Amino acid sequence: MPKAWLLPEHTADVLPDQASDVESLRRSAIDAAAGYGYRPVMPPLVEHIESLLTGGGAELDLRTVKVVDQISGRTLGVRADMTPQAARIDAHLLNRQGPVRLCYCGPVLHARPRELGASRDPLQFGAELYGHTGLEADLEVVQLALDIVQLADVGPVGIDLNDVRVVSALVGSQPLRASVQADLVAALTAKDRAAVTAAASGLDADCASALRSLVDLYGPAREVLDAAVRCLPQQGPVVQALQDLQWLVGHLEALHPGLDIGVDLASIQGFGYYTGVGFALYAPGHGEALMRGGRYDDIGAVFGRRRPAVGFSVDLKAVAALRTPPAAPRAILAPWGESAALREAVRGLRAAGEQVVVLLPGQQAHLGEIAHDRRLVEVDGRWQVQAVDLAAQTA
């Protein structure tokens, strides 16, 4: 039998120092979202599969672990993404007419890692703004995402913007077979000009040429948008998308001077899911996007209400992995005893936010295993906290 302590591939325990850090990231993300008016929801770990896969398409389906419900016999999915769950809550349970702001944080499960080196067991934090079609909503969500990643202090972040409407408009009314669309998305994502040419071989020449030009349309936001205006056909939806990106870039420049803002028009991850501007935040030394988000209107349709929506999500464990976990807090050691005065002293220190580890009888031999810098000692009948000579301790 394999060793019982081996974990499934692409899953890992988060040990105390790192887990404390994830917990503090979790709290700062939830609190930052609360400051903008995003209120928490906790959907269940499993749902009927048809509820979980709304809008997510084949990719989400493949990533979702299915089980048969022992009670109903129906197929349940273990959530691989909490976004459809939040959309269900907005559409069906809250039933508001105006904008609704929700956030959530919990583990999700992926049948296979989403990308090379990714975990199958991320801790997903996300925030969603429903019920507003304006760019002001997109901007608010980007700002919140930036606030959270800046609180995480993982170095200077950069943002890449994109808009799936550009590709949609270029392909236009030409019907695409699913396989052609998949090839096109893969070719554009890989920025592989030859593959784009091959995938677009059935499309008309102007369209194929425009799709090829997307491969070069990435880099600093202003330059890319200027180039796009020059080289893309000025169809209505393309013009609209470029104007929207201009608007967002302008506001982000004003709000975050010094932020590295890029545009990548060939980036169409989530094609068929997003319906407008999309964004990805990058941290130095981490090739994959740290956070992804964007607009995905109509997500609530399957729940009976079409609602505009814009949001983002992030794996907080992946963010924590980029940080140096703070040193473990140093405890105050207290002796075990039945004295009421001692117990009151311990209680008071804990209530004041101190970590007080009581030395259980016999634990003396393993003191070195407890990170501590103070002790609670009795002096003249009163319990006092005294510093421990750390140099002597390590010697």
- For a copy of itself, which residue of 12, 229, 259, 322 counts as binding (CB under 8 A)? 12
Angle in degrees, 0-180, between the axes of helices 164-171 and 236-255, rounded to the nearest 10:
170
* For a copy of itself, the closer CB: 159 or 180: 159
| CB closer to a copy of itself out of 215 and 345 | 345
CB 103 within 8 A of CB 30: yes
Which amino acid is it at 84?
A: P
Convert residues 70-109 into a mask of x (bound to a copy of itself by CB under 8 A) and - (unbound): xxx-x-x-x------x--xx-xxxx-xxxxxxx---xx-x
* Residue nearer to a copy of itself on the CB measure, 197 or 273: 273
- What Cα–Cα distance (Å) separates residue 368 from each residue in 119, 178, 336? 34, 62, 17
Residues 335-394 that bind a copy of itself (CB under 8 A): 336, 338, 340, 343, 350-351, 353-358, 360-363, 365-367, 369-370
Contact 112, 63 (CB under 8 A): yes
CA distances from 1 to 4, 5, 338 (A): 8, 11, 47
Q: Which is nearer to a copy of itself, 231 or 367 (CB)?
A: 367
Residue showing tokens 């702001």 = 101
Q: Which of 136, 153, 223, 389 binds a copy of itself (CB under 8 A)?
A: 136
Sole residue written with tokens 């009151």: 344
**Residue 15 or 379 having the CB closest to a copy of itself:** 15
Q: Least distance from C-beta 88 to a copy of itself, angstroms?
A: 5
Binding-site member from 28, 59, 61, 65 for a copy of itself (CB under 8 A):
65
Q: How far is the CB of 152 from a copy of itself (least distance, A)?
A: 16
Is 317 near a copy of itself (CB under 8 A)? yes
**Residue 41 in contact with a copy of itself, rule: CB under 8 A:** yes
Closest by CA to 273, choosing from 292, 297, 307, is 297
Closer to a copy of itself by CB, 175 or 361: give it.
Answer: 361
Quick count: other Cβ atoms within 10 Å of Cβ 129? 26
Task: List the strands of the sheet with 100-107, edge to edge.
Answer: 39-40, 100-107, 123-130, 309-315, 291-295, 277-282, 158-163, 260-264, 218-220
Residues 6+ apart with CB under 8 A from 240: 165
Contact region for a copy of itself (CB under 8 A) — 62-70, 226-234, 263-271, 288-296?
A: 62-70
Best CA proximity match to 167, nearest among 107, 119, 130, 212: 212
Closest to a copy of itself by CB, 13 or 115? 13
* Sites for a copy of itself among residues 20-39 (CB under 8 A): 20, 22-23, 27, 30-32, 34-37, 39
Nearer to a copy of itself, 69 or 206 (CB): 69
**DSSP letter, residue 368:** G
The residue within the footprint of a copy of itself, chosen from 239, 321, 331, 385 (CB under 8 A), is 331
- Going edge to edge, which strands form the sheet with 65-68? 46-48, 75-78, 65-68
Q: What is the total count of residues that contact a copy of itself (CB under 8 A)?
A: 108
Stretch that binds a copy of itself, among 132-140, 171-179, 256-264, 267-275 (CB under 8 A): 132-140
Query: Does 175 interact with a copy of itself (rule: CB under 8 A)?
Result: no
Residue 276 φ/ψ, nearest 5 degrees: -155, -140
Residues 138-167 that bind a copy of itself (CB under 8 A): 140
SS3 state at 377? strand
What residues between 232 and 271 interact with a copy of itself by CB under 8 A? Answer: 251, 254-255
